[in-house]
Amino acid sequence: MSIDFYWRIGMEGDHASLRTPRRYNRGDAGGYGPGNIAPAIRGGELDGYSYIDHMAAVAKASESAGFLGGLLPSFPMTEDPWATAAALAAETTTYRFMVAFQPGFLHPVQAARMSASLQRATGGRLVYNIISGGGGAPQLWWGDKVDHDDRYTRTSEFLDVLKGVWDGEPFDFDGRFFQTHGAALPPGLAGQPFPEVYFSGSSAAAVAAAGLHSDYYLSWLEPYADLRAKIDGVRENSAKLGRTPKFAVRIDVVARHTEEAAWAEIEKGWAFVDKGAADRAAQGDSVGAARIKGWVPEHITGYRDLEVQPNVWCGFSLIRGGPAFGLVGSYEQVAERLDELRELGVDAFILAGNPHLEEAYRVGEEVLPLLQRTPITPSGLETR
């Protein structure tokens, strides 16, 4: 059986290492400032190098290091994943773009048209990461006051409409959140391959909607026993609907020649620890974020307190924001832990590391070839 490996593209900026976690100094994602190496000032003016140039470097590097594609996350402070996917597609050959987006911020007929155009232009390289929002301030940023469970009703309606118009036959829908009458993708756009659907959310409402729509149920990494229980729950729920989704996990990785060297890297990042970050990440109504916070101890005496099982560390959110869990260890150990996840039922991985560029090469070239249960899926449409 093949495994799909994606790499995360940093859409919020990128820093030179875990040791400089709060200095986004690669490209001009946050504007040009002290510490930026490129763009450079020449003749008193910026030379025009922009953050998209850095993202293109990461996409190309991960494509050549064996990754099937890249996840393009979406938060208020990130670049827009749709526009970025279109720009980066021209820079890559077979690389797929997993666009994270919240249904509800776009009409589904418009989303269908954008998606079909991208599919046609790229030879079918669009993948969806359907996110339904974590509540709190980021939701209000978008003017979204729909409550937690209703957001999943909206997501479900959105995907019903998107699928309904996809084949080009006139489609009517009169839902709570969306209506359309006689809509259909025009000839030429109709009939493109429908993007694979990755679907995230840990709440009961998320699992119910994922049962209806997901090709891959996507989770952050958690302690393995909890992840296994989560996968079993999703599988059970989907089976009642006659569906059998695959499973994907998003994981940060610090892998080095030796375990000691990997922990030394964490220790350097720990100098910048922000112990309040776990609380802030769980301020909305996200059940998944609350689950994760539950594993981060209240009182931390040192970074090894956060190793919840061998090589599984839940301190990443405290040194660079984002999800808490990742793998820390030698190349062999990280490969073994990934193999164990395969045995647990995981079919696809979204891996990440800082800096995104060098770590893409390192993980692709040093870790992925050690996996027992590959063959690594060759990048390309023949794997569809």
Query: Which region, judged by CB under 6 A, interacts with ligand FMN, from 53-61, 153-161, 177-185, 197-205?
Result: 197-205
* 10, 27, 69, 73: which one binds ligand FMN (CB under 6 A): 73
Residue 100 engages ligand FMN in binding (rule: CB under 6 A): yes
190/212 with CB nearer ligand FMN: 212
Q: Return the half-sphere exposure (C-beta side, CA atoms, 13 A cut-off) of residue 22.
A: 9
Query: Which region, judged by CB under 6 A, interacts with ligand FMN, from 34-42, 59-67, 258-266, 281-289?
Result: 281-289
* Least distance CB 197 / ligand FMN (angstroms): 13
Query: Which region, judged by CB under 6 A, interacts with ligand FMN, from 35-43, 283-291, 308-316, 376-384?
Result: 283-291
Residue 203 engages ligand FMN in binding (rule: CB under 6 A): yes
Closest CA to 252 of 352, 358, 319: 352
Contact in structure between 190 and 168 (CB atoms under 8 Å): yes
* 16, 23, 60, 75: which one binds ligand FMN (CB under 6 A): 75
Which pair of structure tokens corresponds to residue 175?
């839902």
Residue 334 engages ligand FMN in binding (rule: CB under 6 A): no
Residue that the structure tokens 């409402």 belong to: 205
**Long-range contacts, stretch 177-186, CB < 8 angstroms, 24+ apart:** 177/104, 177/146, 177/153, 178/107, 178/108, 178/154, 180/107, 180/108, 180/109, 183/109, 185/112, 185/113, 185/116
Closest CA to 354 of 117, 15, 67, 115: 15
Q: What's the rounded Cα separation, in Å, for the pair 251 and 147?
A: 28
Residue 219 engages ligand FMN in binding (rule: CB under 6 A): yes
Residue that the structure tokens 């749709």 belong to: 82
How many chain residues interact with ligand FMN (CB under 6 A)? 20
* 51, 158, 178, 220: which one binds ligand FMN (CB under 6 A): 220
Residue 218 engages ligand FMN in binding (rule: CB under 6 A): yes
How big is the chain, counted in residues?
384
Name which of residues 296 to 315 contact ligand FMN (CB under 6 A).
none
C-alpha to C-alpha distances, 259 to 21, 202, 254, nearest whole angstrom: 21, 31, 10
* Least distance CB 11 / ligand FMN (angstroms): 8
- Give the interface with ligand FMN as residue ranges (CB under 6 A): 73-75, 100, 131-134, 200-203, 206, 218-220, 250, 286-288
